[in-house]
Structures are given as structure tokens and as C-alpha cells.
Amino acid sequence: MATRPLARSCSQLSASSPARAFLQLAPRRHLNSAPPPVLDFLLPRSTGYCSSLANRNISARPRREEKRAFTSSVARRETSTILNPKKDDNGYDMQIDITPRASNRLREIMYQDNNPNLALRILVESGGCHGFQYLMSLTTLPPLGHTPNSTQVQKESPPALNTSSSDPNVIPSTSQSAEAEKEKKESLTEDDTVFMAVDGTGAKVVMDEESLKLLKGSKVDYTMELIGTDCLKITLHR
């Protein structure tokens, strides 16, 4: 009985075209778990289309914005005003900064001279290529722990020299002249402002009011040149 349908199908195939016969036999191969026909590779793949849709859905989703919290910290100053602070016309403090290199160099000088009251005095005078020039010198300050305020410093007069002779025109001795010169070096006026580094070195800088107006916001730094010379310099940071 199985030979009749087979013979009938063979007769039908012989009567039809080869292409139609292939299309009729193709679904039977799938039913018999045969390998897919050769033309299946021409069909579009459903998996690729699904993956593209998935990617499109992912890209269409709103992205969550990441919020980062930033903390603002106040920059720590390297220098503090320890005597006679001054303000400018706008009410801001007139300050300078002493860099760690400059403070370390001043500490070395204080150690070499065995003088903890040593300070760097900076004076601005007219002249030079830019219309003004910096003059730096070392000076000895009175002990700031017992130094009176600025108004008292200016009004104080140097102590009178004690001479052994009753003649007022007698020339004081050499030791007395040296003592007077020392008192002169240790004097401060109401225009002087003293700055000190806060790094524990004890480095101090002295400026008068006119010089401070021109150099406010600047930095006192220490550099070593290529030729072997070292110097303290002022860097403007406006």
C-alpha cells in the first residue's frame, strides 16, 4: 500500500517543473527532521532583529544623571600678621605670603646669627627700570611678646645716654654708641607691619605702609640660580 502513494507522487513530480517539485518536497524534509534547505540562509534572521530592538530600547531609556558632591575648602594662608595689620581702601586686609623656601632660608640666617628676633625688611623706593625698586635688608626686631602697640612704639623716644661727665657736650663712649645703634635697629614705627610664617620657623618680614600698598598680595620666595647664587625675591600674584 505504501508503494501506491510513492508512485503517485513520482508521477506528479514528473509532470511538474523541477522548481515546483523542490518546493513541494521542502516541507516534508522539515517534518522528517532533515537539515534545513539550502535557501534558508536567504531568510532574515529574527535573532538579529530582536537584538537590535533590545539595543534600541536600552538606548531609549533615560539615563540617570550621576551627582557628585564637591566640597569647597578655604585655602590655608602661609603667613599671618602679628603686628599692626593694615587694610586697603576697600576694607580688605593687606597681606603678603612667605613661601616655605623663604621661611626656611630666614630660619637658617637666624640660626647662624643666633638671633631669633631677626627679620627681613622690604622697602619700595622710586627708581629702577620699572619706576620702583625693592630694597631688602636684615633688621633686628624688639621682642614682640613685650612690644607695645604701634602708637606707643612711635611715641617712644630712645633712652638718654648716661655719661659719667657733667659736660653735656662730651662725646659718649664707643659702647654707648653701639647701644644707641642697637636701639635704633630695634625700633618700629606705626607704619610698620610685621608678618610671620605659620610653619613654625619664626621667619618674619617687616614692611611700611607705602611699601605694603604696592606689594599686597605678593609672595616672598627664595630661589637658587644656575650660576650658584641664591637670593630672596618678591613674586607678584595679583
CATH code, domain with 91: 2.60.300.12
199 or 228, greater pLDDT: 199
pLDDT band at 148 (very low <50, low <70, confident <90, very high): very low
233 or 191, greater pLDDT: 191
144, pLDDT greater than 50: yes
| Domains: count for the chain | 1
* Residue 178 CA: distances (Å) to CA of 163, 175, 182: 14, 5, 6
pLDDT reported for residue 154 = 41
What cell does 125 get? 623706593
Q: Phi, psi (5° rounding) for residue 129?
A: -70, -30
Mean pLDDT of the chain: 69
Please compute the mean of the pLDDT values over residues 33-47 and round it to a whole number.
Answer: 54
Beta strands 132-140 and 193-197, pairing class: unpaired
CA gyration radius for the chain?
A: 47
1 or 110, greater pLDDT: 110
- Report if residue 129 sits inside a domain: yes
Please compute the mean of the pLDDT values over residues 191-198 and round it to a whole number.
Answer: 94
pLDDT band at 173 (very low <50, low <70, confident <90, very high): very low
- Report if residue 43 sits inside a domain: no
Show the beta-strand stretches assigned E in 9-131: 79-83, 97-98, 118-126
- Report if residue 120 sits inside a domain: yes
- Report if residue 140 sits inside a domain: yes
- Report if residue 224 sits inside a domain: yes
Specify the DSSP element, H or E, that contains 221: strand 219-224
Nearest Cα neighbor of 208 from 96, 104, 57, 49 is 96
- Report if residue 93 sits inside a domain: yes
- Report if residue 3 sits inside a domain: no
- Report if residue 137 sits inside a domain: yes
Please compute the mean of the pLDDT values over residues 138-163 and round it to a whole number.
Answer: 54
Rounded distance between C-alpha atoms, residue 67 and residue 87, angstroms: 41
Rounded distance between C-alpha atoms, residue 148 and residue 111, angstroms: 26
Residue position matching grid coordinates 602708637: 151
Rounded distance between C-alpha atoms, residue 121 and residue 82, angstroms: 15
Residues spanned by the domain of 184: 79-156+173-235
101, pLDDT greater than 50: yes
SS3 state at 11: helix
